[in-house]
Structure 1
Amino acid sequence: MGFADLLNDVGGFGRFQWIHVTLLSIPGLLMASQNLLNNFTAGMPGHHCTIPNRTSIASSQNISQSEVDDRELLRAFIPMDASGTKLSKCTRYVEAQWHLLESNASVIGHQANFSELETEICLDGWTYDKTEFLSTVVSEWDLVCTLRPMKQMSQTIYMGGVLAGAIIFGGLSDRFGRKALLIWSYFQLATLGTCTAFSPSFMTYCIFRFMTGMAVSGVILNTVSLKVEWIPTKSRTLVGTLSSFFFTFGQMVLAGIAHSLRDWRKLQVAVCAPFFLFFLYSWWYSESARWLVLNRRSDKALKHIHRVARINRKPEMVEKITLEVLECHMHKEVQSSKTTHTAYDLIRTTVMRRISLCLMVVWFSTSFAYYGLAMDLQKFGVNIYLIQIIFGLVDFPAKLVALGSLTFLGRRITQGTCLLMSALMIFTNIFVPTDMQSIRTTLACLGKAFTSASFTCIYLFTGELYPTVIRQTGMGFTSTMARVGSMAAPAVLILEEMLPALPSIIYGGAAVVAGIIAFFLPETLNIPLPDTIEDVEEKWASKKLDAEKQAKKEAVALREMKKGAVEGDGEITGLNAL
């Protein structure tokens, strides 16, 4: 008997679970917005050096605006880039070059002398194209040219906050409870996320984004645990996969909101302010009864179980399930909870150590490959709002396939296969010519879809592998590697200058390694959640260890038999002597 039996007694996956899971999943619509927000708030608009009094200068040369359009006029002030097709983004001529406005034939004749014309940096700032974005943090604080790396740094800082949140909130929720930390995370995300929109400087913006990232980790980690710990064993796969669709649909919601607003401050408020509503209704949630029992608060756990029974229309179970019945079902877990657990317990025993090390690699590579493909959508040369929607759409069939695989083949095969298929898409893209942009985009979308399915699996898988007494610490510890991967992914793109295919080789290689390592994890399909570290060791100890234990038992039994035989011989000899 265990807590899973109690869940079945109070209705299994009943009305309470439907409401609970739905309310926990709705914020997922905007969780995608938080992680991918940089694609829009820090979008890079077209830009060139600002030329003060350009029209009046042109008039002084007897050149009217009607004679040449604005772009043609700029050729007298702005040199062309290395490709010769676009205006330079970071330099301008020291003196206007009016002869460049002559006929094309004359211009071609002057091209050989373009490099000899004296240029300077943009002393008067930049003029930005507002076709795709009305305002971004890039145009707000001129994060272009020499300051261009600051754009990627803002995303790295945000992911640093997510990393810090995974470490901090993971341990705190095992100590203070899932519900309390989730409520606080909603409030922190709503407040600081909204304040980000009113940042007066880039430094302030980065600080608020870091704090918002911490809250995002708190929301994700505690949402997963509250779902898993109130769901019967057989329903976990379906619920975990369907819940991930909220995140997938949220990617398309983000594209729609961003396209409607196109101003980074308004967009920031639009995706953060709704968390005030989530904060208000989160008080309805029920704290994990498993966690309450294991923290010697069985009386409160009993109240939550009675509440679930009433909502699931099982009022007769309120009388049947008493404090004695609850503690009887979880006697073993209660005895184990008297031991204080720390992060060291994640690697102290053999099976826990194997699980933790494997999960660290899988989490890192999944996030590394995902954000390597999902960030900086402008590189695809397609409308950024459209590509975001396409990225979201391809996730649906990938996750449906993953749902079938999780249900019938298990977690381990699904996890490994998703990562290996993602690697295959990334490696294939290396050999597609750059001029075949549609094929490259399609392969990137498929690769991203498989990594997204891998994310769906790893959240469910990790929650099932770690025991209740240390589940949140384990989730926070292993998902920390995902945040390291998301921070490293943008930095790898710098290697394109050395070899264009090198980032893809690294992304794909990491996915291959993780895909292979995933097959070394224990299978959890249709297995009740472990509540103690001893449960983990008993369920998933290797056959070799079992054989060693059995051999030791047999050796001890043999010694006892020999000892008994010797003592028996001694008694017989003594009797004969008498």
Structure 2
Amino acid sequence: MPFFSLGGSFLNAPVDHWCAAPEHNPSHLHNLPRADQEGLSARGAQCTHIHRNTSVLSGIDLATLGGDILTDGAMLMPCKRWNYDTTTFSTTVTMEWDLVCSRAWLSPLFVSAYFIGTIIGDPLMGTLADRFGRRLVLQWCSIVFVVASVTSALASQYPLVLAGRFILGLIHAAGCGVTYVRAMEMCPSQYHTVIGLLLLVPFAVAGMLLGGLAYFIREWRLLQLCATAPAALGLLMLPWVFESPRWLMLQGRVDEAAEVLHKAARWQKVADFPSKVDLTSMLTTMRKQATSQLSLNSRSSSSSSSGLFGDLISLVGNRTMRRITLPMFAVWFCIGFAFWGMSLGGSVFGDDPFLYIVLTAGMEVPGYTAFNPLISRVGRKVILGSNFAICAAAIFGILIVPQEYSFILAMVGKLFITGCYNIVYLQASELFPTCVRSTGLNLSSLCARLASLLASLTVALMSGVAWWVPSMVFGICSTAGCFFTLLLPESKGMPLTDTFAEHELLYGSDRSEDDSTYNSTIEDEEACNNVQTTQKYCV
């Protein structure tokens, strides 16, 4: 996925351009100095050239004429052809379709189409996975991903390239969200934190590999085809991608769930695993308990409305929920905006785009792992707010330090904004009650997706206004994120709530900060979420 979400930095990198000599100029213009051939007396012009009738000068050595004659009777005309600086990149999307000057607005769509796809794909893929299963969605998405990537790499029309990028963005949600959910459902609860980190770290590693791959491959079509290779190889693993036993159980397909668990037990050489008959009986009992709990939560959370609309209303239905939902959405937006702004800002914050991607992706590894001990001891709110503040300070520092130090500050900003991403996933899952937790997380993620789209446009468009504008915008957003964090309650040590009644009791405004009545009656979050002994094989 990072090969494509970050790939726009190389596939459609910004390059210098200038007007090429008009094709109708007579061949004797080869006598002009090279600089005048490129600019036609408007040296360095990017969108216009000076046009005049040169037929009257036929047979005259133009190199011997003074500069004045080159502008006499001139007419300013828009360029029809361009030359590009190929020092760093041999070909890019912009070069191939001349997405400059009057067509420059089409260039940012290459990156934006991908992020628009992620915005739509988040709720779409989640719904499809809940209805048709995680395995089926992942299998079809893997196939479509490879086809769309190859098609867009070979397309001869720019709209086809954009369509391919949009489809790749749609499937990005399956590669992230559905894969994450499936992994959480197929491992014991005590390994959720470790598995979550193991799923995030490969994204950082892939980002570093992308920088190295792009360094050796400077042609955009070949680079995209090579970036597709890991996904194509992944198709070979599809026969070994099994359905989530938990999803099968909830769908009433307990026999299939038992079969998947038995296969896993054989591979892991578990000696004391229950027989298929006993396991089927356990799963049937668990399904009855799960459906009963889901029905209870549904009744408690839908007094006046039901379904998705009811969940949306419930997220802002009372003061306590509004105090959590609105700042949470704002925090996710600020994180997504700053994170993707720093990730895609190689042309703004660094001189070497390849090294920039490698190092910023490398910053994600400690960003995902280094703050976990701190949030367990200090709390989510303090560390999240501190990360925002340090990120903002680093970005604002870029505006005042010498240019050679701006690269270092960009790395610091990326490190701490990545830490914010890791923390807010945990905090959101703790602050939303079970009955609307999935909806709350999906809408929070949607806010971050919207921010990623705006971040890509900010990098592409605002950097052309002035070099300092993107840094100022991202710094202000990080500062705002710090203040929004202060509005959220602390969730460290708090049990997960299932219903709105429990949520109001725990986080309601009537509860004083030093009131421990509720905490004393409930054990910490692990105990609050314990499962029956029979669940140890399939949680």
**TM-score for the superposition, normalised by structure 1:** 0.74
Partner-residue secondary structure (3-state), 2:371:
helix
* Corresponding residue number in structure 1 for 2:50: 93
CA contact (8 A) 2:379 2:492 kept: yes
C-alpha distance in 2, partners of 1:483/1:200?
29
Q: Deviations over 1:458-501 (max 9, x none)?
A: 44555666688876655433211112101112444545677765
Q: Are 1:207 and 2:160 matched, yes or no?
A: no
CA contact (8 A) 2:395 2:410 kept: yes
Larger mean Cα displacement after TM superposition, 437-446 or 502-511:
502-511
CA contact (8 A) 1:238 1:403 kept: no
Query: Following TM superposition, by how much is the alpha carbon of 1:99 offset from its aligned partner in structure 2, in angstroms?
Result: 11
C-alpha distance in 1, partners of 2:83/2:322?
55
Q: Residue 506 of structure 2 is aligned with which of 519, 526, 542?
A: 542
C-alpha distance in 2, partners of 1:525/1:311?
37
Q: Residue 182 of structure 2 is aligned with which of 222, 226, 234?
A: 226
C-alpha distance in 2, partners of 1:407/1:287?
33
CA contact (8 A) 1:427 1:504 kept: yes
How many equivalent residue pairs? 494
CA contact (8 A) 1:143 1:150 kept: yes
5+ residue gaps, structure 1, are 1-30, 81-86, 552-578
Q: Structure 1 residues 545, 48: CA separation in 2 closer, same or farther (over 3 Å shift)? A: closer
CA contact (8 A) 1:295 1:337 kept: no
Q: Are 1:334 and 2:295 matched, yes or no?
A: no
Q: Structure 1 residues 74, 214: CA separation in 2 closer, same or farther (over 3 Å shift)? A: same
CA contact (8 A) 1:371 1:486 kept: yes
* Corresponding residue number in structure 2 for 1:34: 4
Q: Are 1:137 and 2:93 matched, yes or no?
A: yes
* Corresponding residue number in structure 1 for 2:450: 484
CA contact (8 A) 1:415 1:458 kept: yes
* Corresponding residue number in structure 1 for 2:42: 79
CA contact (8 A) 1:228 1:236 kept: yes
C-alpha distance in 2, partners of 1:175/1:442?
46
Partner-residue secondary structure (3-state), 1:148:
helix
Q: Residue 507 of structure 1 is aligned with which of 461, 474, 496?
A: 474
* Corresponding residue number in structure 1 for 2:224: 268
Q: Residue 443 of structure 1 is aligned with which of 409, 422, 440?
A: 409
* Corresponding residue number in structure 2 for 1:12: none
CA contact (8 A) 1:495 1:502 kept: yes
Partner-residue secondary structure (3-state), 2:83:
strand
Query: Following TM superposition, by how much is the alpha carbon of 1:330 offset from its aligned partner in structure 2, in angstroms?
Result: 6.0
Q: Are 1:431 and 2:400 matched, yes or no?
A: yes
Q: Are 1:325 and 2:298 matched, yes or no?
A: no
Q: Structure 1 residues 305, 40: CA separation in 2 closer, same or farther (over 3 Å shift)? A: same
Q: Structure 1 residues 44, 175: CA separation in 2 closer, same or farther (over 3 Å shift)? A: same
CA contact (8 A) 2:133 2:243 kept: yes
Q: Deviations over 1:370-393 (max 9, x none)?
A: 222222422346122222222223
Partner-residue secondary structure (3-state), 1:262:
coil
Q: Residue 404 of structure 1 is aligned with which of 370, 373, 377?
A: 373
Q: Deviations over 1:328-349 (max 9, x none)?
A: 4565422133558536325526
* Corresponding residue number in structure 1 for 2:526: none
Query: Following TM superposition, by how much is the alpha carbon of 1:150 offset from its aligned partner in structure 2, in angstroms?
Result: 1.2
C-alpha distance in 1, partners of 2:268/2:327?
38
C-alpha distance in 2, partners of 1:173/1:197?
28
CA contact (8 A) 2:17 2:46 kept: yes
Q: Structure 1 residues 459, 54: CA separation in 2 closer, same or farther (over 3 Å shift)? A: farther
* Corresponding residue number in structure 1 for 2:131: 175
User: Which one scores higher on RCO, CA 8 angstroms, separation ≥ 6?
Assistant: 1
Q: Residue 385 of structure 1 is aligned with which of 354, 361, 366?
A: 354
Partner-residue secondary structure (3-state), 1:130:
coil
The 5-angstrom pairing of residues 99-498 of structure 1 reads 118=74, 120-319=76-275, 322-328=279-285, 331-338=288-295, 341-342=307-308, 344-345=310-311, 347-348=313-314, 356-380=325-349, 382-406=351-375, 408-409=377-378, 411-432=380-401, 436-459=402-425, 462=428, 473-492=439-458, 494=461
Larger mean Cα displacement after TM superposition, 268-277 or 254-263:
268-277
Partner-residue secondary structure (3-state), 2:491:
coil
C-alpha distance in 2, partners of 1:411/1:99?
75
CA contact (8 A) 1:410 1:524 kept: yes
Query: Following TM superposition, by how much is the alpha carbon of 1:207 offset from its aligned partner in structure 2, in angstroms?
Result: 1.3
Percent identity between the aligned chains? Answer: 25
Partner-residue secondary structure (3-state), 1:238:
helix
Larger mean Cα displacement after TM superposition, 216-225 or 500-509:
500-509
User: What do you get for the CA RMSD once the two structures are aligned?
Assistant: 3.9
Larger mean Cα displacement after TM superposition, 213-222 or 172-181:
172-181
CA contact (8 A) 1:171 1:476 kept: no
Q: Structure 1 residues 100, 405: CA separation in 2 closer, same or farther (over 3 Å shift)? A: farther
Query: Following TM superposition, by how much is the alpha carbon of 1:355 offset from its aligned partner in structure 2, in angstroms?
Result: 5.3
Query: Following TM superposition, by how much is the alpha carbon of 1:126 offset from its aligned partner in structure 2, in angstroms?
Result: 0.9
C-alpha distance in 1, partners of 2:246/2:505?
24
CA contact (8 A) 1:327 1:334 kept: no
Query: Following TM superposition, by how much is the alpha carbon of 1:206 offset from its aligned partner in structure 2, in angstroms?
Result: 1.0
* Corresponding residue number in structure 1 for 2:523: none
Q: Deviations over 1:46-67 (max 9, x none)?
A: 32222148894245x5x6xxxx
Q: In structure 1, what residue type is equivalent to 2:18?
A: H
Q: Deviations over 1:176-228 (max 9, x none)?
A: 22222222221221111111112221112111111111011121111111122
Q: Structure 1 residues 526, 413: CA separation in 2 closer, same or farther (over 3 Å shift)? A: same
Partner-residue secondary structure (3-state), 1:317:
coil
Q: Structure 1 residues 114, 401: CA separation in 2 closer, same or farther (over 3 Å shift)? A: farther
Query: Following TM superposition, by how much is the alpha carbon of 1:102 offset from its aligned partner in structure 2, in angstroms?
Result: 8.8
Q: Structure 1 residues 448, 195: CA separation in 2 closer, same or farther (over 3 Å shift)? A: same
**TM-score for the superposition, normalised by structure 2:** 0.78
Larger mean Cα displacement after TM superposition, 241-250 or 163-172:
241-250
Q: Structure 1 residues 488, 114: CA separation in 2 closer, same or farther (over 3 Å shift)? A: farther
